[in-house]
A and B are shown apart, each in its own frame.
Chain A
Amino acid sequence: MTVKRIDHVGLVVKDLAEGVATFEKHFGFIADGTRGGEIEPLGIKNAFVPVGESDLEFIQPITEDGPVARFAQERGEGQFLLSLEVDDIAATVEHLRGLGVRVADPSPGGVAFVSMKSAFGVNLQLVQRG
């Protein structure tokens, strides 16, 4: 398994527009208006802000349940997940399962979530780009 780079860091915020606006104002970043929106199956809406070679993903829960909603209820705002870019998501998932890691099937978009129990509590996401 080869991790190419940090793809993005996910940040949970109570209000997506306010969170993005704060980071734009304070740090001078500019959100990428071509990405993000509502993702109903995950119960979230999100926006991406490029910072160098990686992104900040701002995530607002839009339902009362789901992992992001639970995080927001328990901890408020803050860092939620670390997304790592890999070369081949299918091969990576197979490799990790061979090591005993609990990892979900990749989505059609090439994203797979690792069980937090397999990362000492860190919320890890794996993603294949391109």
Chain B
Amino acid sequence: MGIGATHIDHIVIGSNDSAATAKLFSETYGIEIKRVMSRPGTGAHMEFAKLQEVVLEFAGPGTPPEGEEPRARLGGFVFAVEDIDAAVAALRAHGCTVEEPHAAVQPGAKLAGIKDGTHGVPLAIIQYGALPIEETKA
């Protein structure tokens, strides 16, 4: 039985310099950056592009390490689901270790990371419209 996953919601490209990586993908590969975001207190800097239904997220530290060349790698991806609580219950019934769903950065969304049973792929699931907008993380 499935978990109601509808599509790949986003793919993360992790980097030691997310701004430089996003710039490379934008200027060289024509992927338009739609949103730039920093999370105060975490030092994280994220930039986002959207290719049809899939968001490409460039994530990394707010301050790139000095003197290092930019390095990036695929950092995991997220499936969109229709009912995250039911999806978590189904995954746990299959023996997967799954986080409790929690408010995501995306307005109104809940997210849960899947800790095993993914053949080494960092994976999470997300449900949009799961929370009132004001309960979403800043």
Contact = CB atoms under 8 A, between A and B. Distances in A.
Given A11-B121, A26-B3, A82-B11, A5 B51 contact: yes
B54 interface: yes
A90 interface: no
A79 interface: yes
A75 B121 CA distance: 11
A57 to B, nearest CB: 12
Interface stretch (B40-48, B71-79, B102-110): B71-79
A42 to B, nearest CB: 19
A77 B119 contact: yes
Interface string A8-46: 010101000001001101111100000000000000000
A119 B74 CA distance: 11
Given A25-B94, A122-B74, A1 B52 contact: no
A93 interface: no
Nearest to B70: A120
Contact of A121 (B72, B77, B91): B72
A73 B84 CA distance: 35
Interface of B: 1-8, 11, 13, 15, 20-21, 24-25, 28-31, 51-54, 56, 69-77, 79-80, 91, 94, 96, 117-122
